[in-house]
Structure 1
Amino acid sequence: MYIGHYAAAAVLVTLVPASPVTPIAIGVAWPDLVWPVLVLMGRERVTVGRSDPLQRSIRFDSYPFSHSLVLGNLFTLVPAAIVALLYDSILLGLLFWVAAISHWILDLVVHMHDLPILGFGGNDRKLGFGLWQYPKTAFATEYIFFAIVVLLTAQPTAYVGVLGGGLFLHFLNANSFFGFSRHNPFSTPTRLALITFVGYIGAIAWFTLAWQ
């Protein structure tokens, strides 16, 4: 899931309208900001199906630090504490942490039974409802979910920027759902990690600017 994570950001900034947008925009993306760094460091592993561009062909072999429900979100308390100190707001630190937790919950809908619960132990259970198995349905469902939440939470003056920008970013990821190319253009872990990181930096900037 990509743009769908910003539905959670929309809810959180609406619930606490006085809070700055940027930390929450970073929070919902946090696991996918940490993940590329850990992949590049060799601490987490992913296998990319080179002959298949679809998202379902990517196998997340190991990502306990960035994408486990327990260990990953315990580590996220560190940046949450930093946010609380920087903004002098325990509430904002808590919102950052909740935003990061929402990432795992939403990923659960689309991932292919690979999200670890604990993040440690040899018999850790993994979950995932596997919506990516139905790529066209997953593509439509993610944006519809995002759009409905935005229409319920955003000010009408922000509709064009949030919905339009979100649609643009969503279509940038369309090859992963429709397979326009014969091969995966991000055919190595390094390439996938880098494009993921860049994609989320762009999403953070878009949401922060568009929500104002």
Structure 2
Amino acid sequence: MIAGHFGLAAAVKAGRPAIPVWTLMLATAWLDVVFVPLYLSGIETVDGEGYGGGVIHADYTHSLVGALVLAALFGVVASRWLGREAGLVLGGVVFSHWLLDLVVHRADLPILPGNAGDLPTFGFGLWRLPAVSAVVELLMLAVGIGLYWRAAAKRDPKRARTLGLSAAAFGVVTLAADLLGV
């Protein structure tokens, strides 16, 4: 769901042009950014491979409570530099990662960090249908880029074509990396 996350960030940028695009891109991927060192240290793991082919044991970064905590921390830090409103938006973008993952993941998203209490885990499992999941991501990416491009064209028509082509190229590369499991 990497491309879908970036599509959402592009859509948010369309409505919140004052928020730097890099902060939105970082926010939408923040749970995965924090996941990487935990994965490399063996704290969080993945069984299987390929686009949606694995069960992810991201029991800290991708637990419901863990995602809320990471979103709140990101929002607080962002609000110090970008203001309260931007901090709230960016915290929401961080948490949107968990909501989008809920749609595609198998039931591997715990409620509490470390899956404390061995409570039920969640995920609607759209990844079981890779073609459908890829189409959903492509649509999210296309809509997000389209909204971003339209808003950019209204603000600066001379730069709109360049922005649109850049965003589309970024989207194609991101979707390809997502589908190839890079």
Q: Please tell me the residue identity of whatever aligns with 1:125.
A: P
Partners of 2:120 and 2:61 in 1: how far apart? 16
Q: 1:54 aligns with which of 47, 50, 72?
A: 50
Q: 2:90 aligns with which of 96, 100, 103?
A: 96
Q: 1:66 aligns with which of 44, 51, 61?
A: 61
Gaps of 5+ in 2: 154-159
Aligned pair in 2 of structure 1 residues 114, 161: CA closer, same or farther (>3 Å)? same
| Counterpart residue number, 2:109 | 115
TM-score, normalising length from structure 2? Answer: 0.82
Partners of 1:101 and 1:173 in 2: how far apart? 20
How far did 1:80 drift?
Answer: 2.4
Partners of 1:35 and 1:83 in 2: how far apart? 20
Partners of 2:39 and 2:145 in 1: how far apart? 32
Partners of 2:74 and 2:144 in 1: how far apart? 26
Contact 1:118 1:125 in 2 (8 A): no
Percent identity (aligned): 29
1:175 and 2:175 matched: no
Structure with higher helix content: 2
| Counterpart residue number, 2:33 | 33
The ranges of structure 1 where at least 4 consecutive aligned residues each deviate by more than 4 angstroms after the TM superposition are none
CA RMSD of aligned residues (A): 2.0
| Counterpart residue number, 1:160 | 165
Q: Please tell me the residue identity of whatever aligns with 1:3.
A: A
Gaps of 5+ in 1: 177-194, 196-212
Contact 2:9 2:144 in 1 (8 A): no
Partners of 2:77 and 2:173 in 1: how far apart? 32
How far did 1:164 drift?
Answer: 2.5
Contact 1:132 1:138 in 2 (8 A): yes
Tell me the alpha carbon deviations over residues 151-201 of structure 1, each in whole angstroms, 9 at most, x when there is no partner. Answer: 23423523221123201221233334xxxxxxxxxxxxxxxxxx5xxxxxx
| Counterpart residue number, 1:190 | none
How far did 1:88 drift?
Answer: 4.7
Aligned pair in 2 of structure 1 residues 78, 170: CA closer, same or farther (>3 Å)? same
How far did 1:98 drift?
Answer: 0.6
Partners of 2:144 and 2:25 in 1: how far apart? 15
Of 112-121 and 23-32, more deviation after overlay is shown by 112-121
Task: Indicate the SS of the match to 1:46.
Answer: strand
| Counterpart residue number, 1:179 | none
